[in-house]
Amino acid sequence: MGQSFNLQGILQSFRVLTSPRLMVPNIVVRDIRDINFEQLHKSGIIAIAFDKDNCLTKPYGLELHPPFQDAWKRCRKVYKDQVVIVSNSAGTPDDKDNQQAQAIEQALQVNVLRHQEKKPSGGQELLDHFSGIKAARIAFVGDRALTDVVFGNNYGMLTILTRDVVTEEGDNPMALRIRRLEHRVLAFLDRMNIKAQPHPIPIDLHAVVLQAPPPPESEEEAKADIVAEETRQKEAKESEEREAKFERSKRAQKMTTHPSSNTGVSSTAATTTGAPAVAAAAAAAAQAHVHTGQTASSQTGSVGSAGGFSTQVEPQILSHEQGTGWERTITQVPGEEPVHSIKLAGHIKGIPGRR
């Protein structure tokens, strides 16, 4: 038995054009074996619904895909009678006398929803079936983004997409092409950082998936993954370096503000003149370090380099001199350029690399 033309579904799918995140699932798994049903239930998802074709059975099949036996047993044990199958073939007006629905119920030992509207429409019929259970506490699992995921997201359910289909053999050629296109669109949306709509129940999404995410399906996707990972690592490294520079700058400024605490040299004149301005300037210098990567010396036209701030080692004070209204301190991180800091009444300048 095939499926009749799903006009309502096509019209619904156009909503995705204005809100593409509707087709983005909360969770992607390879197939139902990856779902940690026990953890999902503990997280507050107390009912679960499944698409049938290419999610539980082969296309238009009436038997559970054999490798899914254990997972299906776990699901039924956890969810008991709060499991239902929502198919766009079985249980719809296309299913004469619900013969297909009954055969599936016999084989899979769960209810098949009898419904008039096809996914992604008809969510209310599922909510009516799970009478009294809020949509946010229902998970919908399926292999199609534009039908199963949009259906679940439309009604605020937790959506789980199964990426590895049971088989493409015997599938509706149009559905097959659209599914492949959906995967490409999902990969694109991911690269655009368009995420699933936030689910109202806080769920540890990693805890409810039993295995590692599926490997990339195409060379293009593999390359995109590599680029995304490289960008992530680069940004993390830059962030760490900025943090390190900021901390080092703060420490260096602290030493020039209170050198006597480290060297025993008196700096009464300097520390008692213009202290608030010094603090403000130090903060500004630190900010300049953080946001622009430039040193304070570049602000005064001196040739400097921020390259000296690259380790976590504490700077050592090499020398400290002071006169009327001024102080000069030279600090150095072992293996790096010395940093000269000159403090005048009301000013402070850090000049890395200059002697």
Cβ 74 to Mg ion shortest distance, Å: 21
Cα separation, 113 vs 243, in Å, equals: 56
Cα-based distances in Å from 352 to 135, 239, 277, 307 = 61, 22, 21, 9
Cβ 246 to Mg ion shortest distance, Å: 52
Cα separation, 336 vs 273, in Å, equals: 31
Nearest to 128 by CA among 145, 105, 111: 111
Tokens 């599922």 belong to which residue?
A: 126
Residue 26 C-alpha from the chain's centroid? 10
Pick 48 or 281: Cβ nearer Mg ion: 48
Cβ 15 to Mg ion shortest distance, Å: 20
Ranked by CB distance to Mg ion, the top (closest) residue is: 53
Pick 51 or 221: Cβ nearer Mg ion: 51
Pick 61 or 325: Cβ nearer Mg ion: 61
Binding residues for Mg ion, rule: CB under 5 A, are: 51, 53-54, 143
Q: What are phi and psi of 187, to 5 degrees?
A: -65, -40
Pick 51 or 95: Cβ nearer Mg ion: 51
Pick 172 or 310: Cβ nearer Mg ion: 172
Cβ 288 to Mg ion shortest distance, Å: 57
CB-CB neighbours of 260 under 10 Å: 14
Pick 147 or 329: Cβ nearer Mg ion: 147
Burial class (CB in 10 A: 0-12, 13-18, 19+), 42: middle
Cβ 165 to Mg ion shortest distance, Å: 8
Cβ 89 to Mg ion shortest distance, Å: 9
